Every structure is written in C-alpha cells, then in structure tokens.
C-alpha cells in the first residue's frame, strides 16, 4: 500500500537531539494533523524530510511509496512526489512565479518531454483563478515583498501545479487572516483524493475547522505522545497543552 512511513527517526541539530525515535504512518487518501507547542520539533520533522542540510538524521527510516527518502537530494525527493510548504517561504528576487513553477515542473519531467507554454499558462491561470490569485502575480518575483497571505496562497499554487503524491504543510495558517485561511484551505480540500496524502502541521486548532483531518497527533519533545481523531484538536484548543505535560509526568 502507498504510504508515508516514518520509523524511529532521530534528528539532531548541531549535536542536540530534536526528534527522538519519531514514528508516523500516513496512508494515501488520509489527512493527518500534527499539533504541538512551539519548539516541540514540528518544523524539524518537515525540514529533515526535505533533506535540509542543517538537520542531521542519525537513525531511522522515512519512505514514500516504498522509496527511501533518506539520503535523497531535495530534487529527488520532489520527483518522488513529496511536496513541502514551509512555515517561512523564501523570497527569490528576480525569479517570477510563472518561471519558477514552470522550471520546477520541467525538472520533474523526462528530458525529452516539454511542457508547452500555451498548455502551461492555461493550467496556471486556471489554478490561479481557482485560488483567487490575481493574474498580475505571475510576473512578480517569487515571494518578494509578498504579504504572509500572498506567500501562502503562492505555496498552494505551487502545490496545485506540481500535483504531488504527498503534501506536508508546515504552519501554513500562521499569519493568515480568515479570508486567506479560507482560500488556502479550499485549495487543500480541492486536492484531497484517495491517491494523495497530507500532513498538516499547526499550532492552532482553527485551521482544522477548515481542513478536517482523519487523525490528529500531538507532538511533545520530538515525539508523538497522543493520537486521536479531530476531537483531540478541539480538546487541545480548550485545554491547552499543559495537561499533556502533566499526564506525561504522572
Ligand atoms: P516547532 O516547529 O515545533 O516550533 P522546531 O522544530 O522549529 O519546533 O524546533 C525544535 C527545537 O529545535 C527547538 O528547541 C529549537 O530551539 C531547536 N532548533 C530549531 N532550529 C534550530 C537551529 N537552526 N539551530 C539550533 N536549534 C534549533
Ligand atoms: Mg515550526
């Protein structure tokens, strides 16, 4: 079966252990959420899976559809079908959104094939219309001077254009007003399907009112300490994270 399967992952930053024997399995077709207090290691998980050079994987495995993601280069990970939307998208002055996304798609196609400009722009404009992104954005440099909401919409646009098998969204809701949150959630929901999986990382429950997850996991000090259905998110919202700390100490 096709899955994102992480087993016993240990990740260090500068010799400091951040993820500690972390395991998680998400079948295609499901949306799982990871919630947790700041500093619990949520972004470390997404960056380690994206082969960020500062994150030292010392133990464990991560597989997508049976392909070992560990030791892959970031472009190979993308070609394997994993898409990551980061908490803080980078700004790339001088590279337009249209050219950036086209290069990303082209890089994932066989060399002999070419994505024709007409077809590309047709698809791009369709997705932009769906996501409520003004067409003049195509000529703007990637994320350069974008508001928080514009950056996040742009990430969802990239995701929709790349059509990945599995998407990880790291705090895509942070800094979003309610309108942007709705647009981003609608974009994700429209991509939900039986052959695509999602991991949605969030500090707040609010996003999960719009993107209703199949499962919710709580991360604490680099590990999943609780798993449940969407009601667990509501419980965290009303009770905060301290009760988990108390339960773990008991
Ligand atoms: P979260 O996304 O859950 O808020 P992070 O994964 O960003 O948590 O951080 C987990 C821990 O790793 C924190 O204690 C943080 O201080 C530490 N950390 C994150 N990035 C770095 C870094 N570049 N250098 C040193 N420590 C880091
Ligand atoms: Mg984070």
Model confidence at 230: pLDDT above 90: yes
DSSP per position, the chain = --EEEEEEEEEEETTEEEEEEEEEEEETT-EEEEE--TTSSHHHHHHHHTT-TT-EEEEEEEEETTEE-TT--HHHHHHTTEEEE-SSPPPEEEEEHHHHHHHHHHHHS-TT----HHHHHHHHHHHHHHHT--GGGGGSEETTT--HHHHHHHHHHHHHHH--SEEEEESTTTT--HHHHHHHHHHHHHH-BTTBEEEEEESSSTHHHHS--SEEEEEETTEEEEEE-HHHHHHHHHH-SHHHHHHHH-
**How far does the centroid of ligand 1 lie from the alpha carbon of residue 137, in Å?**
32
* Candidates 3.90.400.10, 3.40.50.150, 3.10.20.90, 3.40.50.300; CATH matching 3-249: 3.40.50.300
Average pLDDT over residues 141-152: 80
User: How much is the pLDDT for 2?
Assistant: 62
**180-220 residue pLDDT tens:** 888 889 989 999 999 999 999 998 888 999 999 999 999 99
Q: How far is the CA of 37 from the centre of ligand 1 (A)?
A: 11
Q: Which ligand is nearest to the CA of 48?
A: 1
Q: What is the pLDDT of residues 21-39, one digit of tens each?
A: 999 999 989 999 999 999 9
Name the pLDDT band for 43 (thresholds 50, 70, 90): very high
Closest ligand by atom to 170 CA: 2
CA of 53 to the centre of ligand 1 (A): 14
- Model confidence at 18: pLDDT above 80: yes
The ligand 1 site (C-beta within 6 Å) comprises: 13-14, 18, 36, 38-44, 54
């Amino acid at each position: 079966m096709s899955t994102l399967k992480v087993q016993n992952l240990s990740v260090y930053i500068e010799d400091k252990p951040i993820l500690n024997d972390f395991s998680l399995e998400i079948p295609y077709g499901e949306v799982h959420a990871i919630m947790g207090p700041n500093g619990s290691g949520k972004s470390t998980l997404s960056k380690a899976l994206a082969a960020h050079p500062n994150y030292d994987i010392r133990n464990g495995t991560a597989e997508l559809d049976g392909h070992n993601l560990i030791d892959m280069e970031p472009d190979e990970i993308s070609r394997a079908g994993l898409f990551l939307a980061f908490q803080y998208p980078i700004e790339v002055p001088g590279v337009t959104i249209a050219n950036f996304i086209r290069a990303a798609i082209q890089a994932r196609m066989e060399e002999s094939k070419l994505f024709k400009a007409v077809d590309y722009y047709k698809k791009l404009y369709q997705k932009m219309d769906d996501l409520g992104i003004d067409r003049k954005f195509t000529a703007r440099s990637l994320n350069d001077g974008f508001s928080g909401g514009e950056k996040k919409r742009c990430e969802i646009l990239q995701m929709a254009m790349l059509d990945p098998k599995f998407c990880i969204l790291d705090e895509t809701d942070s800094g979003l007003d309610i309108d942007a949150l709705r647009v981003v959630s609608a974009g994700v929901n429209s991509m939900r399907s039986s052959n695509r999986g999602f991991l949605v990382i969030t500090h707040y429950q609010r996003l999960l009112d719009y993107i209703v997850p199949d499962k919710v996991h709580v991360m604490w000090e680099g590990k999943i300490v609780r798993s449940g259905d969407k009601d667990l998110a509501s419980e965290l919202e009303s009770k905060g994270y301290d009760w988990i700390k108390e339960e773990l100490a008991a």
